[in-house]
Structure 1
Amino acid sequence: MTTAPPKTKSVDAPEVAAYWAERRRYIERIRKVPEIRQRFWREVAIYLLRRVLWSFGFFPIFIAFWIPFVLASFNPVVMASEFIPLLQDFVDANPEVQATTLSTLTIAWASIGFIFLVFDFVLTPFRSPYEYEADVYMRSWEQLNHDQLPDKV
């Protein structure tokens, strides 16, 4: 016994090409709109600021306090009693040792920040307002041209 293949609407290349051509034309048109261009640059600045603050502000500081807190068995008294002698030794040390310690901490902070920054850019890519506007426009364009488009575009 042979079974008939399931009936699905085939995807024609011209229909898909029409969708993407219309999307490209629309994005080219809205790139000329000053309000959207201004919103694009504002969102780029907010995105970069947010990524940098999370990567260099939150994560290194969180790790710097969380790991010692875990090692102190979540007991702040134990943590303080371990850090007070270290801080006293730092204050009593000569300037070369202090400079070395500070540069080591700065390098550790920057390296953790850069690692998180790279992963943050990969995990949370920038979403352009042009793409958002094009998505909204193409949804309405699909509805207007519904009978001409394949099922899945």
Structure 2
Amino acid sequence: MSIYTPPVKHVDAPEVAAYWAERRRYLERVRKVPEIRQRFWKEVAMYLLRRLLWSFGFFPVFIAFWIPLVLSSFNPVVMASDFIPMLQDFVNSNPEVQATTISTLTIAWASIGFIFLVFDFVLTPFRSPYEYEADVYMRSWEQLNHEQLPDKV
């Protein structure tokens, strides 16, 4: 044993099993409460809406304006003078070229959105209200059964 490793306190499996068994029982009880079930579905909808708005609304739009602004050395006049001829060419082009350009921009927007959506789901996982309720309950349960539990469960 190294001098840098802290001493490990022996944790009895029955104590840990009692904690998780009580948590499981509480989660089964709390899943039957209609108010919490309603709050769960509301929070799922808000979570998905927030993730979709960030991924498909903010990030592609931010990148679409940030990259040209960086390439124009943060000078909006240079950026506008570069974009005006491109926009005039787009307006003056035939419908097939316009459709292809719009399709390409839509594919780019969707691909950036999906990439950020995947990373957003990974970096900010959904926090269930059931789990929150169980955490609060288990903290109080630990305090009531403090002498029966190990230091770190």
Shorter-chain TM band: over 0.9
Alignment deviations for residues 31-88 of structure 1 (CA, whole Å, 9 cap, x no partner) = 0000000000000000000000000000000000000000000001000000000000
Q: Which residue number corresponds to residue 84 of structure 1?
A: 84
State the superposition RMSD in angstroms.
1.0
Q: CA deviation at 1:16?
A: 0.1
Are residues 1:111 and 2:79 paired? no
Q: CA deviation at 1:7?
A: 6.8
Residues 1:7 and 1:35: Cα distance change in structure 2 (over 3 Å)? same
Secondary structure in 2 matching 1:96: helix
Q: Distance in 2 between matches of 1:117 and 1:80?
A: 30
Share of identical aligned residues, percent? 89
Q: CA deviation at 1:8?
A: 5.5
Secondary structure in 2 matching 1:152: coil
Secondary structure in 2 matching 1:116: helix
Q: CA deviation at 1:9?
A: 3.8
Alignment deviations for residues 101-143 of structure 1 (CA, whole Å, 9 cap, x no partner) = 0000000000000000000000000000000000000000000
Q: Which residue number corresponds to residue 3 of structure 1?
A: none
Q: Which residue number corresponds to residue 128 of structure 1?
A: 128
Secondary structure in 2 matching 1:107: helix
Are residues 1:139 and 2:119 paired? no
Q: Which residue number corresponds to residue 96 of structure 1?
A: 96
Q: Distance in 2 between matches of 1:103 and 1:150?
A: 61
Q: How many residues align?
A: 148
Q: Distance in 2 between matches of 1:132 and 1:7?
A: 31
Note the residue ranges of structure 2 that are not aligned, 5 or more in a row.
Answer: 1-5
Structure 2 length as normaliser, TM-score?
A: 0.95
Q: Which residue number corresponds to residue 60 of structure 1?
A: 60
Q: Distance in 2 between matches of 1:74 and 1:151?
A: 55
Partner AA of 1:112 in structure 2: I
Residues 1:120 and 1:7: Cα distance change in structure 2 (over 3 Å)? closer
Note the residue ranges of structure 1 that are not aligned, 5 or more in a row.
Answer: 1-5
Q: Distance in 1 between matches of 2:126 and 2:77?
A: 43
Residues 1:8 and 1:120: Cα distance change in structure 2 (over 3 Å)? closer
Structure 1 length as normaliser, TM-score?
A: 0.95
Runs (4 or more) in structure 1 with deviation over 2 Å come to 6-9
Residues 1:18 and 1:84: Cα distance change in structure 2 (over 3 Å)? same
